[in-house]
Chain A
């Protein structure tokens, strides 16, 4: 059982927005501002899309945004595109690394 809980799947149509939640089972997310999100397409290396809760690495479209409220962090993808279809994982550092179980995003 992961220390961070994510929905197993979400879906949306092209152009829509989707949000993926990441809820801490303890203080892993709630007490720290070190939440990161990774996009993982099959057969590819995971890619960092959000770090420090809401910061975007260079080259990541501004359609990707992150936020946190209480013990729940969220990744929002607006203006969905077919290429966004992937698994998304959240992670937090709380003395050691904890990860979510992953969310499969399907673009309908």
Chain B
């Protein structure tokens, strides 16, 4: 059973970079053809897809966040990471990582989420 677990600071100061890691267990991040994604949910609002990475290093980002987002993968550690720069209070949200099979259009596994608050 594949499991995803987010980790990282729960508090980030405005203008700094938010960094989170998603560790994959129960299988190799390199097996199969998957897109490893980040999704977020601000309090009281809907979900927003941030972007995805393949183990080849190929990435795709939400155009609204593209200028500030970097998603990378480390196959040796079986994890992938999110970096969101120049954060503001509007970036306060629960951040989820999720798996998306490249030949499908759904997320079959998700992490439990990591609340990140942007505050001085």
Chain A residues with CB under 8 Å of chain B are 2, 4, 32, 34, 36, 38, 43-48, 51-52, 57, 89, 91-93, 96-102
- Tell me whether B111 is interfacial, beta carbon within 8 Å: yes
- Determine if B47 and A93 form an interchain contact, defined as CB atoms under 8 angstroms apart: no
Question: Which residues of chain B are near A89, meaning CB under 8 Å?
Answer: 46-47
Chain B residues with CB under 8 Å of chain A are 4, 39, 45-49, 62-63, 96, 98, 104-113
A101 to B88, CA, bound (A): 22
A23 → B minimal CB distance (Å): 13
- Determine if A36 and B107 form an interchain contact, defined as CB atoms under 8 angstroms apart: yes
- Determine if B107 and A38 form an interchain contact, defined as CB atoms under 8 angstroms apart: yes
Given contacts A34-B105, A96-B62, 14 further A-B contacts (CB under 8 A): A2-B45, A32-B105, A36-B105, A43-B112, A45-B4, A45-B112, A45-B113, A46-B96, A48-B108, A51-B104, A52-B104, A98-B49, A99-B48, A100-B46
How many A-B residue pairs lie within 8 Å, measured between CB atoms? 59
Q: Residue of A at shortest CB range from B52?
A: A97
A52 to B113, CA, bound (A): 24
Question: Which residues of chain A are near B47, meaning CB under 8 Å?
Answer: 89, 91, 99, 102
Other-chain contact of B106, A2, A43, A44, A48 (Cβ < 8 Å): A48
Q: Residue of B at shortest CB range from A102?
A: B46
A14 → B minimal CB distance (Å): 27
Question: Which residues of chain A are near B109, meaning CB under 8 Å?
Answer: 45
Question: Which residues of chain A are near B46, meaning CB under 8 Å?
Answer: 2, 4, 89, 99-102
Question: Which residues of chain B are near A57, meaning CB under 8 Å?
Answer: 108
- Determine if A96 and B63 form an interchain contact, defined as CB atoms under 8 angstroms apart: yes
A89 → B minimal CB distance (Å): 6
A96/B111 contact (C-beta < 8 A), A34-B106, A36-B106, A52-B106 known? no
A2 to B96, CA, bound (A): 18
A28 to B63, CA, bound (A): 16
A80 to B37, CA, bound (A): 32
Question: Which residues of chain B are near A99, meaning CB under 8 Å?
Answer: 39, 46-49
Question: Which residues of chain B are near A44, meaning CB under 8 Å?
Answer: 112
